[in-house]
Structure 1
Amino acid sequence: MTLRALCLCFLLLPASLLAQDAAQVRLFAPQVLVETGLLKHILPRFTLKTRVRVVAVAQPDDAHLSIGDLGTPVFEGAGQVWHLEVRAGDHVGADKFARWLRSEIGQRTVQGFAPGGAALFAPPQQVAVREEAATVDGDAALGHRVSHLKCTRCHAIDEATRGWGIGSTPSFGVLRAMPDWEERFAAFFVLKPHGAFTQITDVTEPFPVERPSPIAPIELTLDELDALLAYVATMPAADLGKPLEHQ
């Protein structure tokens, strides 16, 4: 390598490291909160929304953000009110996470963590949650192709595939008719039984060697997941009739 090329490498290295750092947020949380499983529930969903990856660190001094006793109260549960402290105010990814966690979508994601059937966390009563309009980006045509290739083993995804898949599994049209359809599709990979055989690039952890996927795994990129959501957003919801009324 010439001296000129070597100097060029050193000039380019800091910029590449900064770009990588901007796309990754370091978060500290006490072990008592980590052990509840909340972070494993909310962090992948944040990454799907923003493409910003959040990694846990062992020491608050190494973190862009810290959850604990200091900062803005963001949720309560596990015996206390939890606060979010932004330790790197000029970090774009950290700012995105802080705004997301305080938003309606972020708060709904926290409240949706109910491993035993009951929500473990709730927003602190004194904090007003900001409404944030949901947007769906992506290539709907690509989403249709992805759905056809990777979802029809279980689901009917359109009229042409009616009768395909597993009879007891709801079709995309039925799922689209549900009020929380976007959450169901955006986070399907952690909902049973999908977690046992689904991988999202740069989001989910690889399957443990001793517990491989029981069937041929489904692998999706974030772009493909965005496209799938865009396709479902264009679908007409199935007519499920009037809600059941109890006498």
Structure 2
Amino acid sequence: RWISHKYGFGTYIHFIKGFLSRETFEEATEAKMRLIDMANVSGSNVYVDTLVSPSFTSIVAQAIQLPGISGSENNLLLFEFHKNHPEHLKDIIDNFGLIQSVNFDLILLGSSEKGFGLKKQVHVWITPYDFQNANLMILLAYILLGHKDWEKATINIFAIFPEEAVDKERAKLFDLINGGQLPISPQNIEFITKQIETDPKVIINKKSLNADLTIVGFIDKAVKHRGSDEFQGYDDIGNILYVHASESKEIK
């Protein structure tokens, strides 16, 4: 509801696993009424619905074909999993190729017991692999601040690069900024160098320990190679938004 508050509409689909029958239809109807009540209380711009389907793959296939309620086509999927209980993460990863086939952006919310804290700090982390994701990551952070719950929050952007490549990567990043391809000021970026053997997650865990939301990018090659491990290892920080852009976004 935060993302949909100021810049459009969202659709929330509640998945009920099973085959369509009188029993599952009644279950879906009851669930939908509860969701509508919750949406009305929060005043969100989110359309809610339920779908009964025998598998997660089939529900994803149905969801990505749903028409957009605002007149524009849907172009992004958001899933959630609990960082300490990532059992459903495998289902999402198994359907990553299906989502990519229709050029949808994909974001995953890794939730934790810390929740969203005080909603005061949003940290965005850019690595050498995130130039395609960077605009969407930054855009989501600014969209979030458009909601009254986050209006007093600040956005901190960190760029983390290997020590021997930091000058080259800094110049590359500045070229994108100067060319209008990244909607940020160079003064708003904190550059952090790391040794080759240092896992960036170690630095992120330390630097974003008190962040209320941390935004990181991920790429398809890493997911195919590492699977669910790509989304693990952020044990010390709170909620994380993992972002994959189907293509680089132009922000005007």
Q: Which structure has greater strand proportion?
A: 2
Structure number with bigger Rg: 1
Q: Which structure has greater helix proportion?
A: 1
TM-score (norm 2): 0.29
RCO (CA 8 Å, sep 6+): is it higher in 1 or 2?
2
